[in-house]
Structure 1
Amino acid sequence: MSRRMKRAMHSVLMPFGIFVVLIAFWQGVTQLFRVPEYLLPAPTKIAAAIAAEPKLYLYQSGYTLQATLSGFALAVVLGVGLAILIVQFKAVEQTLYTLLVSLNSIPKVAVAPLFIVWMGTGLNPKIAIAAMIAVFAIVIDMVHGLKSIDPEIIDLGRTARGSAVMIIWKIRFPHALPALFAGMKVGISLALIGAIIGEFVAANRGLGYTILVAQGQFDTVRMFSALSILSLIGLLLFYAVVVAEIVFVPWRTAKLRASA
């Protein structure tokens, strides 16, 4: 096994070990203090509820995951494209950047019903809401990464008759990759939140819909089951981005380890 893969495995396994310890602590508290199930069900109760209906939770998780990943992918494409436009054109920076900041200040829960009106109650509005919430973090970090390169390197590329496209692709973009992955780490969690917001507003599938139905039935165990799966999905998605960064930006992790 290569050293890079070992680093990736270590970055993933360590947090999961901490997660297991927290679950064990949760189980101990519920048993020691005899916490009522309607207030805080024990992890064993939650696991039993999931095991009793695995197909249901798998189906609902798949729908939420599809909306999350689609929205995240759209956010990455839009975020990188917008960041390049902002860096390359001063007029775009003065207009679009300000517009993005103002739009980001609007509560997404308030905007979500509009997407339902525009796109219906299917998967598309969930994807759009997930992308809208995730894109801002990606744009901000990508712009910072594209701008943080030494101007002398850019001048050297122009001296070598490099076109604007080549300078972006060969010089700016590789330098901005660590910043892009930083934005993606935040964005993947925000995309999951966006998908759940969309399901809260209008849906007949997904983990957000499951939580709403369980709330109406005062089924605390099912609510915690859906929440537990959501937290696990969020953890897996975040560390999938971490592993991707280790694989595709190895010089970044090597630099961080050298400075530690």
Structure 2
Amino acid sequence: MAVFVALGAFLMTLAGGWAAQRVTDRRHLVLGLAGGLMLGVAGLDLLPEALHAAGHEVFGVPQALLLFVGGFLLAHLVERMLAGRQASHGAYNGLRHNHEHRSPQAGMAAASALVGHSVMDGIAIGAAFQAGEGMGAAVALAVVSHDFADGFNTYTVTSLYGNDRRKALGMLFAAALAPVVGAASTLLFTMPQELLGSYLGLFGGVLIYLAAAEILPEAHHRHPARTTLLCTVGGVAFVWLVTGVAE
């Protein structure tokens, strides 16, 4: 049953990637929406679930929050290291950043993280069905609904960093297959709840960094329009609605 439900996530992810491709003439709106979806998924979906699953404290702070901050710092460190590498190859002119010379490796790394998250989505579906049909249905609804955002974000973040369409499509299909693989894997083992919560906290921090430090600044770089801001708010509101319905 879990694998069958994960096929819905496969189709929804592809639909999100298709939408990202169709609106290239409104790139700033695409990026604004992607940033809002990423903020919503991280803050309204991943972090609450992480706190619930891995909520015990480490030196007075919930473990999930520590990993959330750690994920943010990890993404920042990787981005800075790649930026330094690009600078040594002439991608930067003095202190001025050229947005047309982003590191393709950073885009692939970000997309790979999204693929990894999609695998965990599939595992979450399988683990929920192990707990019961009702729990499985609720988790499946949340996963299938927000996988549209995952597909949208995977294609967008891969192409944003200068990767060609072939690579962006490759990462999109990997993200679409990932929930099916994750759900199928739960036929072989049981996922510890604390480990799942820890991963969600870490990945939530990565998503927040990508949205706040990369996607949204790029969205407003050339088109600082109110419509871009509305797209961002709409993306957050959409995730809030999906999360509320799933509950």
Give the alignment's TM-score, normalised by structure 2. 0.33
**Which structure has more RCO (C-alpha within 8 Å, separation ≥ 6)?**
2
Give the alignment's TM-score, normalised by structure 1. 0.31
